[in-house]
A = this chain, B = another copy of it.
């Protein structure tokens, strides 16, 4: 368990009617998904069949980059903006959905099975926060 929630609680100004526990969960899901996707791309590269997993590696890398950016943006309350939060969460949902679907197709590889799960968790966490900012 990371420090996302205690850090949000220590923010010195009022952060409105934000559901802090939900937001913290989403930040943790994003950074966990980013790490898992980075490791999954690498494990796919280590397979003898890496060439067949090229699309999976590509979606892993995209998902890692978007989850990392989303985690950082959600971690910032200063200069926060609802439109940007929505847009980045929408993009993150798309990346997680695409990567989760792709990895699920290769779930006989343990790394893809775990990664598909991390993507589903992150996708849902992003949707949950999106529901509160709409």
- Give A residues with C-beta under 8 Å from B: 1-4, 6-13, 27, 31-32, 34-36, 38-43, 45-51, 54-59, 61-62, 64-66, 68-69, 71-73, 75-81, 83-84, 87-88, 90-91, 94-95, 98, 102, 109-111, 114-115, 118
A7-B43, A40-B7, A46-B11 given; A65·B55 CB < 8 A: no
A contact patch SS: helix
- The 8 residue pairs across chains A and B that have the minimum distance between CB atoms: A58-B79, A7-B39, A58-B78, A55-B79, A87-B91, A10-B110, A69-B69, A10-B111
Residues of B within 8 A of A84 (CB): 62, 66, 91, 94-95, 98
Residues of B within 8 A of A88 (CB): 66, 91, 95
Number of copies: 4
Residues of B within 8 A of A58 (CB): 42, 45, 76-80
Cβ contact within 8 Å between A35 and B31: yes
- Docked Cα-Cα span, A24 to B56, in Å, equals 23
Cβ contacts A to B, 10 pairs, < 8 Å: A2-B31, A3-B32, A3-B114, A4-B39, A7-B39, A35-B71, A35-B75, A38-B72, A48-B51, A88-B95
